[in-house]
Amino acid sequence: MPSLKDLKNRIESVKSTRKITKAMQMVAAAKLRRAQDAAEQARPYTERFNAVMAGLAASVGGSDSAPKLLIGTGNDKTHLLVVMTSERGLCGGFNTNIVKKARAHAQELQAAGKTVKILTVGRKGRDQLKREYSDMFVGHVDLTEVKRVGYADAQGIAKDVLARFDAGEFDVATLFFATFVNVVTQTPQAQQIIPASFEATGDEGAATLYDYEPDEEAILADLLPRGVATQIFSGLLENGASEQGARMSAMDNATRNAGEMIDKLTIQYNRSRQAVITNELIEIISGAEAL
């Protein structure tokens, strides 16, 4: 049974931990508002951009003159997985869920006889995946020194991916990130970015009413690289909001657990102290009676 001093030291230690988790929760809450606003403001642009690109892609179809980024290499033997996670931990299962989805996708591809390559963005994803897939790593993007993610960071990642595609290092690229829903829910996503894949919007028929100058192939050749950067930037913003939301939720749970532990330790401390006082009183009374 721990002594009174041990219990008191443990209570003080848990109280210090609670102060830290409470402070981290407040910091995450402050950062979450800015990150959530950035992610939500980027969604309409991304959705409209994808809608325009979908119309252009539908008008081009599978013609031989279509850009390579749209029609691909004609093969799907080599896959590049771009796994985006956070640089820091203490955010619950945020990073683990993204890595889990990427790992499951990699296992499916390997089972189908495909070659898998991995490019990580964020230290936590690299640390988890390197334990099992170190031989598949082709690169890592470190954003530790970046205080606030901007479009320039997404452009840098996109240039790296596009350069690898032009060099013939892979046939298909898939982006892994988490979409921010709310503080409690962040949904892992797998989005194919090369060859470009656009969801049907129901407006494809309206694209035939437009005459493009220059032609669709030329426009796509210019916009598709920007589309890759836009999708990566959108993923970074969603990840930023998801990370802060997950950290806020995790630190709130940690603060609550620390409070419950302090209550239990305090009860145990009081009971032990009461037992010590009772024993001392018994000894005093016994001694007095012996006299």
Nearest Cα residue to 134 out of 106, 159, 155, 111: 106
Burial track 223-233 (b if 16+ CB lie within 10 A, e otherwise): bbbebbbbbbb
Q: Is the pLDDT of residue 235 over 80?
A: yes
Q: Yes or no: say if 233 and 154 are a contact pair by the CB < 8 Å rule.
A: yes
| Residue 100 belongs to domain spanning | 38-246
Q: Yes or no: say if 88 and 144 are a contact pair by the CB < 8 Å rule.
A: no
Quickly state the pLDDT bin for 233 (edges 50, 70, 90). very high
Active site residue 91: yes
| pLDDT value at residue 69 | 83
| pLDDT value at residue 49 | 84
**Residue 291, in any domain of the structure:** no
**Residue 11, in any domain of the structure:** no
Q: Quickly list DSSP for 159-196.
A: HHHHHHHHTTS-SEEEEEEEEE-SSS-EEEEEEEEETT
Residue of higher predicted confidence among 213 and 262: 262
| pLDDT value at residue 144 | 85
| Domains contained in the chain, number | 1
Determine the Cα–Cα distance for residues 36 and 76; give it in Å rounded to an integer.
36
Residue among 35, 56, 91, 223 flagged as catalytic: 91
**Residue 282, in any domain of the structure:** no
pLDDT tens column, 60-69: 765 666 778 8
Triad 222, 225, 228: Cα angle to 5°: 145
Q: 140: which strand partners?
A: 120
**Residue 260, in any domain of the structure:** no
CATH classification at residue 141: 3.40.1380.10
Burial label for 271, CB within 10 Å (0-12, 13-18, 19+), is exposed
Q: Is the pLDDT of residue 281 over 90?
A: no
Residues in Cβ contact with 199 at an 8 Å cutoff, skipping those fewer than 6 apart: 50, 54
**Residue 236, in any domain of the structure:** yes
Strands (E) across the chain are located at 78-84, 115-121, 137-141, 172-180, 186-194
**Residue 257, in any domain of the structure:** no
Nearest Cα residue to 247 out of 104, 109, 128, 85: 85
Determine the Cα–Cα distance for residues 265 and 48; give it in Å rounded to an integer.
56
Q: Yes or no: say if 245 and 186 are a contact pair by the CB < 8 Å rule.
A: yes
